[in-house]
């Protein structure tokens, strides 16, 4: 039987009880419909996870008994930073979700010249919170025990000069492929554009900042496809997609 996993920012200590916050409490009570003594797994992003039991479920409170800590780690040895040109609606949501499943370590939403999404008033913090929730749920589903940060929306110009490691940006007109590259350290920074791609000015700016234009095959990919294909490719080339299933600590639940 699959045991549900939840992220909580609450400190977790074996042998103690915690009360879930309103969102998690509602989810356990109403969606999962867990009862007293049902098992659940909690993690707080500090590494590892905790086997727990539901201690109490009421209209106002969901209490969890923290039972046992497991030093479970499913993180790739490759550290991947993603600069993600903001795309519309479901496309952005999908890319954020699947990026977490594919092992990304840091995501920054980027405003670019051809970005069609406009933030007005309260929309910016609302969208940021929405994407951060997607990160949380993707980490819960995929078995990750750390929560990759999704940072504040930034302009491409401000973001691009601060990046490290092997720096590549996806360009369907590039000559270089990922197979021709290799990170000197286990750090890769991927830069992907919005629906309209990068302008010539942005391409020049990226190259001036040390980013290498890279193509993914002969076909032109949609923005959400390109981001996820690139993440899968770097994990296969230098990350954990080729790793032996028992090379990491712990077992998958």
Q: Above 90 in pLDDT, residue 251?
A: no
CB atoms within 10 A of CB 68: 10
Residue 244 has pLDDT above 80, yes or no: no
Q: Which pair of structure tokens corresponds to residue 5?
A: 């996993």
218 — pLDDT class (breaks 50, 70, 90):
confident
Task: Using alpha carbons, list the distances in angstroms from residue 253 to 2, 5, 72, 135, 138.
Answer: 7, 9, 10, 20, 15
Q: Tell me the whole-structure pTM to 2 decimals.
A: 0.88
Domain residue spans of the chain: 5-70, 79-238
Higher pLDDT, 217 or 116: 217
What digits encode the pLDDT tens for the residues 52-61? Answer: 999 999 988 9
- Tell me the per-residue pLDDT of 90-111, one tens digit each, with 9 for 90 and over: 889 999 999 999 999 999 999 8
Topology at the third CATH level for domain 79-238: Alpha/beta knot (3.40.1280)
Give 52 or 221, the one with higher predicted confidence: 52
Instruction: Say which range, 21-30, 41-50, 214-223, has the weakest mean pLDDT.
Output: 214-223
Contacts of 141 (CB under 8 A, 6+ apart): 5, 101
Distance from the Cα of residue 111 to its chain's centroid = 19
| Confidence (pLDDT) at 89 | 77
Each residue's pLDDT tens digit, 160-191: 989 989 999 998 888 999 999 999 899 999 99
Rounded Cα–Cα distance for residues 240 and 103 (Å): 9
CATH of 5-70, one of 3.30.465.10, 2.40.240.20, 3.90.76.10, 3.90.420.10: 2.40.240.20
Residues in the chain: 253
Look at residues 127, 148, 134 and name the one whose alpha carbon lies nearest to residue 97: 134
């Amino acid at each position: 039987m699959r045991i549900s996993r939840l992220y909580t920012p609450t400190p977790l200590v074996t042998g103690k009880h915690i009360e879930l916050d309103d969102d998690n409490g509602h989810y356990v009570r109403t969606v999962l419909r867990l009862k007293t003594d049902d098992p659940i797994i909690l993690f707080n992003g500090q590494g590892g996870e905790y086997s727990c039991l539901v201690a109490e479920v009421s209209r106002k409170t969901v209490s969890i008994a923290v039972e046992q800590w497991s030093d479970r780690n499913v993180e790739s040895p490759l550290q991947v930073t993603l600069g993600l040109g903001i795309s519309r609606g479901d496309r952005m949501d999908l890319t954020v979700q699947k990026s977490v499943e594919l092992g990304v370590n840091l995501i920054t939403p980027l405003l670019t010249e051809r970005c069609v999404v406009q933030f007005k008033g309260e929309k910016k913090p609302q969208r940021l919170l929405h994407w951060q929730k997607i990160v949380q749920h993707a980490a819960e589903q995929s078995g990750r025990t750390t929560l990759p940060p999704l940072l504040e929306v930034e302009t491409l110009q401000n973001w691009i000069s601060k990046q490290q490691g092997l720096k590549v940006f996806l360009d369907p007109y590039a000559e270089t492929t990922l197979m021709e590259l290799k990170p000197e350290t286990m750090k890769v920074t991927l830069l992907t554009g919005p629906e309209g791609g990068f302008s010539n000015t942005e391409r020049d700016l990226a190259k001036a900042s040390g980013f290498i234009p890279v193509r993914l095959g002969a076909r032109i990919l949609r923005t959400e496809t390109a981001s996820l294909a690139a993440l899968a490719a770097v994990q296969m080339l230098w990350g954990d997609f080729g790793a032996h299933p028992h090379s990491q600590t712990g077992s998958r639940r």
